């Protein structure tokens, strides 16, 4: 099922359960603003190439929109629209003063030079500059973008405004108003959700068997934290394949291997496996932290993990959700499990607006408090209503936006 269709199907299910007012239900189906921009840049060869970029702002009822920028060949308007809608539910669920947005460029950064990526980023920023800003829409890093990308965006925006504007993006380097703890925020949040969810099945971290699909920023940080807390990380994978050892993998050494070789395969004392194999390994916790649509009706019955913590956005289809729920698998959905990044982005934005910066220990403590608090609201609701945790999380997020829209009214 296409990703946007899957997200809209889930929205309809939740809207029915909430008995959402028809007018609000209709409004939330559509993004507030969708931009498609042409991005002509000069390549290193001297030739000009035109890329297509997107920025979708789904909702701004609770505050400025917020969401990442991704560079990938699969980026298109429908994908970005779906991700922007998910960001709306995520920000509302986490009780942040934001709406949801997402952006991206259809490109392959792996075959581009640093100079070409910089020119691409600066031109894209210029094309969307009328729609972004600290009080309008605040981009952040996502797939194949990073602190440097955000530094270029902030600089381009600031040059156009004539003064430095720290709060226009988050996920920046520390020297440009970035926040301590931002780079590992999403992975750390995934770790906190593993900590909380294993209490439900009366397990401990020590000896916990974990498999992680996706070994980028989110997957590698989560793996490192789990390894440091004596979990057995038995398998990890990236786009080039996976590594498996039932006795556990030395994650710190694997991170160095992956940085050097761009793959987790061919690491000492592991068996090479596929991404598909990893999903169905015998383990306690499965963390899909790669891309959407990985757990489907075709493999959901073969998953042996007791807990799934979604590090990626939309890795599980609605059909798979139902299968897993009926089988008693505890699934912590993306809008809760991977919300650590947007929570620390909020902290960064607040610090930038105040020109006052916090200690890393304070940031980590606040992040954990927020995520554990929301987990302890979502889990009882799922049990009370006899629904899966994703539906409960969506209900909390969507109902908060619906209440705000009803209170604000419709102008004009």
Residue-by-residue pLDDT tens, the chain, 412 positions = 688 998 999 999 999 999 999 999 999 999 999 999 999 999 999 999 999 999 999 999 999 999 999 999 999 999 999 999 999 999 999 999 999 999 999 999 999 999 999 999 999 999 999 999 999 999 999 989 999 999 999 999 999 999 999 999 999 999 999 999 988 899 999 999 999 999 999 999 999 999 999 998 899 999 999 999 999 999 999 888 899 999 999 999 999 999 888 888 889 889 999 989 999 999 999 999 988 889 999 999 999 999 999 999 889 988 999 999 999 999 999 999 999 999 999 999 999 999 999 999 999 999 999 999 999 999 999 999 999 999 999 999 999 999 999 999 999 8
Q: Are the C-beta atoms of 93 and 397 separated by less than 8 Å?
A: yes
The pLDDT of residue 1 is 64
Cα distances from 6 to residues 338, 347, 358, 390, in angstroms, run 19, 31, 39, 13
The pLDDT of residue 222 is 96
Q: Are the C-beta atoms of 318 and 9 separated by less than 8 Å?
A: yes
Q: Are the C-beta atoms of 187 and 311 separated by less than 8 Å?
A: yes
Q: Annotation-wise, does 232 bind a ligand?
A: no
Query: Which residues make beta-bridge pairs with 307?
Result: 285, 330
**pLDDT tens-digit profile of 32-43?**
999 999 999 999
Whether 359 is a known active-site residue: answer no
Pick the CATH number of 31-90+97-173 from 2.30.30.90, 3.40.50.10860, 3.40.50.300, 3.90.1150.10: 3.40.50.10860
Q: Annotation-wise, does 146 bind a ligand?
A: no
Closest CA to 167 of 409, 357, 411: 357
Q: Annotation-wise, does 170 bind a ligand?
A: no
**What's the rounded Cα separation, in Å, for the pair 383 and 296?**
24
- Domain ranges for the chain, please list them: 31-90+97-173, 185-337
Domains 31-90+97-173 and 185-337 share a fold: yes
Per-residue tokens: 304: 């042996």
Q: Was domain 185-337 assigned CATH 3.40.50.720? A: yes
Instruction: Out of 32, 102, 172, 368, pick the active-site residue.
Output: 102
The pLDDT of residue 31 is 97
**What's the rounded Cα separation, in Å, for the pair 335 and 67?**
12
Could you tell me the pTM of the whole model?
Answer: 0.92
Q: Are the C-beta atoms of 80 and 87 separated by less than 8 Å?
A: no
Q: Annotation-wise, does 391 bind a ligand?
A: no
Radius of gyration of the chain (CA): 21
Cis, peptide link before residue 323, omega less than 30° from 0 = no
């Amino acid at each position: 099922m296409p990703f946007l269709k899957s997200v809209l199907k889930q929205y309809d299910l939740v809207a029915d359960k909430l008995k959402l007012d028809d007018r609000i239900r209709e409004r939330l189906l559509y993004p507030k603003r969708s931009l498609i921009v042409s991005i002509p840049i000069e390549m290193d060869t001297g030739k000009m190439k035109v890329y297509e970029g997107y920025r979708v702002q789904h909702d701004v009822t609770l505050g400025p929109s917020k969401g990442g920028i991704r560079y990938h060949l699969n980026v298109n308007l429908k994908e970005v629209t779906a991700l922007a809608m998910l960001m709306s539910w995520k920000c509302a669920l986490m009780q942040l003063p934001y709406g949801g947005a997402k952006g991206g460029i259809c490109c392959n950064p792996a075959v581009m030079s640093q100079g070409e990526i910089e020119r691409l980023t600066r031109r894209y920023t210029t094309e969307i500059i009328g729609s972004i800003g600290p009080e309008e829409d605040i981009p952040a890093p996502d797939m194949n973008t990073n602190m440097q990308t955000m530094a270029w965006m902030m600089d381009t925006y600031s040059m156009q405004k004539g003064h430095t504007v720290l709060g226009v993006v988050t996920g920046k380097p520390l020297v440009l108003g970035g926040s301590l703890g931002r780079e590992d925020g999403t992975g750390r949040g995934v770790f906190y959700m593993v900590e909380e969810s294993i209490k439900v099945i009366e397990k401990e971290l020590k000896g916990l068997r974990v498999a992680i699909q996706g070994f980028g920023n989110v997957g590698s940080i989560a793996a490192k934290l789990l390894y440091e807390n004596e979990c057995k990380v038995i398998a990890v994978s990236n786009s080039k394949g996976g590594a498996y050892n039932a006795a556990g993998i030395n994650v710190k050494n694997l991170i160095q291997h992956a940085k050097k070789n761009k793959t987790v395969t061919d690491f000492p004392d592991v068996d090479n496996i596929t991404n598909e194999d990893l999903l169905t390994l015998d383990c306690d916790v499965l963390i899909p932290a790669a891309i959407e649509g990985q757990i489907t009706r075709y493999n959901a019955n073969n998953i042996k993990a007791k807990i799934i913590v979604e590090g990626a956005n939309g890795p599980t289809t609605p059909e798979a959700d139902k299968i897993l729920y009926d089988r008693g698998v505890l699934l912590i959905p993306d809008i809760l499990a991977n919300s650590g990044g947007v929570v620390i982005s909020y902290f960064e934005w607040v610090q930038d607006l105040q020109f006052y910066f916090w200690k890393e220990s304070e940031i980590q403590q606040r992040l954990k408090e927020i995520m554990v608090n929301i987990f302890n609201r979502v889990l009882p609701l799922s049990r009370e209503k006899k629904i899966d945790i994703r539906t409960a999380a969506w209900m909390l997020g969507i109902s908060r936006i619906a209440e705000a829209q009803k209170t604000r009214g419709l102008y004009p």
